[in-house]
Structure 1
Amino acid sequence: MITIERLNIRGEGIGGGLTVARALPGEVIGGEAVEGRIAQPKIVTPAAERVAAPCKHYKSCGGCALQHAADPFVESWKTGVVRQALAGQGLEAEFRPTLTSPARSRRRATLAGRRLKSGALVGFHARASDTVTAIPGCTLLDPALIDVLPALEALVVEGGSRKGEVKLTVTRFEQGIEVAVSEGKPLDKALHLSLPQIAGAHGLVRLSWNGEVLLQEQPPTLAFGRAHVSPPPGSFLQATPQGESALLAAVKEAVGAAKSVADLFAGAGTFALPLAETAEVHAVEGFAPMLAALDLGWRNTAGLKKISTEARDLFRRPLMPDELKRFDAVVIDPPRAGAEAQIAELAKAQVPVIAHVSCNPVTFARDAKTLIAAGYRLDWVQVVDQFRWSAHVELAARFSRAHIG
């Protein structure tokens, strides 16, 4: 028997030198250890925070890691992950209450598909395994994504290989569901004909295959503020509408009354377009098709202030201080690797306010240290849990020059 001491960064229990799946701090655990891990623990003494998992697939599916824990525990733990990352850099912050997206709210997910001798299997991978688990009763995804599972299975049967997996990124738009398939069979004349027929029969609004659009009944759109934008197939989007709203509210509060804003890693305009209702915005993004979608959404929306766009690799060519000093505020939403080079130039530029959105507490803490060393103050941190029941942590934070109230 061992007692669980804490959770690791993946949300697994740690105790007695072992990693334990689906365990909580304070629990007494039994079970067979294989290579330092108890994959099928027996809960001898459960924690008060333990709850019955709401999803029938939880034991076999790897899509969720923390359904056995009560929401208040998960919220506190995720705040603690960010707090610990900051403490590792010698920093502290004011934390606001965690905002958690509801069940069945994920509007975008990437599923795995395997072609079988008869039919196909589509779902999430099992924990620490390449086995695919079917998820017809998933409590994580928007029900509209569950409804298209038959379409995904049909696409895998038609265009998947028995030798490997197909990746299917499904996204709910205002008009319906988009499917972006990667690692499928190379397109030939037969697939050019059959795949769009399958998509059309199942009512998909757009189908792309290995990057090529095969069917688009109409450009699928999402609302970013007053603007409606049609991102390129398979584009990155915030995982839930509620998570996006929470991050946007935090960014708007951080930026305040700024009249000129730079939006770095702008994507298709999640923040830039709503901010343009009150400020002129310069949107910078490395993927030009995303900027083209943003620009078209801006041009088709009356009443917005000017948005200029710039396709630029901010890892290789960050905006420099002389380019940044004209802005009242900067919004930065980098990928998991953070934005070390760009943060260094921001620190030199002394922009009055920075709204930092992050999906990695470790790189956020590293970047925060750079800004604070340059004279910034970390005013507050807002944890946003739109990857419910996972170990993934997202946040928004406000940095201001220390002499600014």
Structure 2
Amino acid sequence: MNHDVEIERLGHRGDGIAPGPIYVPRTLPGEAVQGAVVNGQMLDPRILRPSPHRVRPPCPHYSACGGCSVQHADDGFVAKWKQEIVHTALAAQGLDAEFRPMHTSPPQSRRRAVFSGRRTKKGVLVGFHARASNAVTNVPECTLLDPELLRVRPALEDIVRIGSSRKGELDLTVTAASEGPDVFVTGGKPLDMALRAELGAIVGRHSLSRLTWDTELVAMRTAPTVDFDGITVSPPPGAFLQATVDGEAALRASVREAVGNAARIADLFAGCGTFALPLARGAEVHAVEGLVPLTEALTEGWRRADGLKPVSADVRDLFRRPLLAEELNRFDAVVIDPPRAGAAAQIDQIAASNVPVVAAVSCNPVTFARDAAALIRAGFRLDWVRVVDQFRWSVHVELAARLSRGHIGA
């Protein structure tokens, strides 16, 4: 039995929500739709009255691929929706702030992606999962990825062909590096001598910079590097990096503005040095990260760079052992870019410290708002927020913000 419903709003996963609630994927507020409803979902809606914000999706794989969620909406609608997600998260904590102009990364700019690879009866399949499915969709013309990541697909197919079990699935993390694609594979066959030799040949044949199999380096033509505002760093295999060079630059500019003239800065959850190393052009920086390989990459990047002030690095689990208030008191500003769960324990210590400025970066507006509220209760004010959309056409929202107390100038 078909139902006629009208979409009232979008949920946090990008689905349209009609009264009931009924969840209808890839619809927009104000649209009238018709279809069968099963367990509160209308999975195959017919659009009876389209929204004026509906557009033709630019990607030919959009209907089958689950990588993007809102390509059917125009850019203005998506930008406003993502800003509203942050507004709503702040309002839930009783907060408001000045919103700086939003920054959105352009199409074909994602420099890092995790492909799925499977062997099939007819050969191999490399792509992304279909929406809410384990099925893998081929994506030869993805409009999201840097073209360098698409050019590496023949190499990934070769890797899947020889390295995947018949029923298994490989995760292939590919990062665009200056020296050629850096590939990190998990879920494959055990790495014996024969497989190592075949994989090594793929590295040479397809000009990969490095191939890593789970925890083992298979082959490296030359160490892959990335550029952090003119500072060269060689990240470890599978390392976290900001999704786009463009978005990273926008976040870095926001962080630099937030810390201002601070002479001593603590960079918490510092990764490979995305913020710490460029900030060291004007300040002494103490970088804290929980993973040894990331810290080693940051330190080596600092050693090789010219003109940087001292950067110290500490390997420390900030969830279990946050920097204490008395340790933080020697800094003029703190930069913090935690995982999606936020950093409640570390925020409590910042709140108890004398630190006057916090430059916050977050990929989760809900946990950001929670942590910001804790700082505000301790006397901080939320000066401004800037949404940075590195995950174009997806439901993910990233932001940078400045929190301060006392009489430190903005």
The TM tier, using the shorter chain, reads over 0.9
SS of residue matched to 1:355? strand
Letter of the 1:271 partner, please give it: F
Out of 376, 381, 384, the position equivalent to 1:380 is 384
- Is the counterpart of residue 349 in structure 1 residue 353 in structure 2? yes
| Cross-structure match for 1:162 | 166
Separation in structure 2 between the aligned mates of residue 216 and residue 135 of structure 1, nearest angstrom: 27
Q: Trace 1:319-398 onto structure 2 (pairs within 5 A).
A: 319-398=323-402
Extract unaligned runs of 5+ from structure 1. none
Out of 8, 11, 16, the position equivalent to 2:11 is 8
Distance apart, 1:39 and its partner CA: 1.5
| Cross-structure match for 2:216 | 212
Letter of the 1:15 partner, please give it: A
Out of 277, 280, 305, the position equivalent to 1:276 is 280
Separation in structure 2 between the aligned mates of residue 255 and residue 296 of structure 1, nearest angstrom: 24
Separation in structure 2 between the aligned mates of residue 194 and residue 35 of structure 1, nearest angstrom: 48
SS of residue matched to 1:399? strand
Letter of the 1:265 partner, please give it: F
Deviations 1:28-63 (A, max 9, x none): 111122221111211111111111000000000001
| Cross-structure match for 1:291 | 295
Aligned partners of 1:226 and 1:301 also within 8 Å: no
Aligned length: 405
Letter of the 2:8 partner, please give it: E
- Is the counterpart of residue 121 in structure 1 residue 129 in structure 2? no
Deviations 1:100-140 (A, max 9, x none): 00000000010111111232101010000000000001101
Q: Which stretch of the first structure deviates more once superposed, 327-336 or 115-124?
A: 115-124
SS of residue matched to 2:150? helix
SS of residue matched to 2:247? helix
- Is the counterpart of residue 92 in structure 1 residue 114 in structure 2? no
TM-score, structure 2 normalization: 0.98
Deviations 1:230-285 (A, max 9, x none): 01001000000111000000000000110100000000000000000000000000
- Is the counterpart of residue 316 in structure 1 residue 309 in structure 2? no
Aligned partners of 1:377 and 1:402 also within 8 Å: no
Computed over aligned residues only, the root mean square deviation of the Cα atoms, in angstroms, reads 0.8
Separation in structure 2 between the aligned mates of residue 287 and residue 68 of structure 1, nearest angstrom: 39
Runs of 4 or more, structure 1, over 2 Å off, are: 402-405
Distance apart, 1:404 and its partner CA: 3.5
| Cross-structure match for 1:200 | 204
Distance apart, 1:333 and its partner CA: 0.2
| Cross-structure match for 1:222 | 226
Aligned partners of 2:356 and 2:406 also within 8 Å: no
Out of 248, 257, 262, the position equivalent to 2:261 is 257
TM-score, structure 1 normalization: 0.99
Extract unaligned runs of 5+ from structure 2. none
- Is the counterpart of residue 112 in structure 1 residue 91 in structure 2? no
Deviations 1:373-404 (A, max 9, x none): 00000000000000000000000000000543
Percent of aligned positions that are identical: 61
Deviations 1:325-374 (A, max 9, x none): 00000000000010000000000003110000000011001001100000
Separation in structure 2 between the aligned mates of residue 316 and residue 118 of structure 1, nearest angstrom: 49
Aligned partners of 2:203 and 2:221 also within 8 Å: no
Out of 13, 19, 24, the position equivalent to 1:20 is 24
Distance apart, 1:198 and its partner CA: 1.3
- Is the counterpart of residue 136 in structure 1 residue 136 in structure 2? no
Q: Trace 1:230-249 onto structure 2 (pairs within 5 A).
A: 230-249=234-253
Letter of the 2:267 partner, please give it: D
Aligned partners of 2:125 and 2:138 also within 8 Å: yes
Distance apart, 1:225 and its partner CA: 2.5
Aligned partners of 1:350 and 1:401 also within 8 Å: no
Distance apart, 1:226 and its partner CA: 3.0
Deviations 1:119-172 (A, max 9, x none): 210101000000000000110101111111111011001000111210000100
